[in-house]
Amino acid sequence: MSRALVFRREVVGDLAAAIIWYRNNKPGLELAFQREFEATLAAIEQNPLQYQTVELGMRRVMLHGFPYAVMYTVSERQILIVGCRHARRNPAEWKKRLDDPRR
């Protein structure tokens, strides 16, 4: 079954912040970060149930080589990407995004 890949609007800010950080602090790695994020999305799309459920039905996959996690939920019709955040950030932020009905 093919599911639509849907992004919370906060994901754009998550990605922009990470890319800017890498560009300013580790030049050249921002492109590797972007490629790894895209590869991770492709893996999620191919088999969304393969990654660990952490809580509230949310799944987490770490980006290879980067301390960032993609958090998402899966339903019959869609894969909702909730965020791409540094793994040491407060996990309560993920929960807020799930509770917020705005998308």
Stated as kind and residue range, the H or E segment containing 82 is strand 78-86
Report the percentage of the chain scoring pLDDT > 90.
78
Closest CA to 1 of 78, 64, 66: 78
Q: What is the pLDDT of residue 103?
A: 47
pLDDT digits (tens, 9 = 90+) for 48-83: 999 999 888 899 999 999 999 999 999 999 999 999
3-state secondary structure of 75: coil
CA angle 23, 26, 29 (to 5 degrees): 70
Range 4-99 has CATH code 3.40.640.10:
no
How far is 76 from 28, CA to CA, in rounded Å?
38
Q: Packing angle between helix 29-46 and helix 10-25, nearest 10 degrees?
A: 150
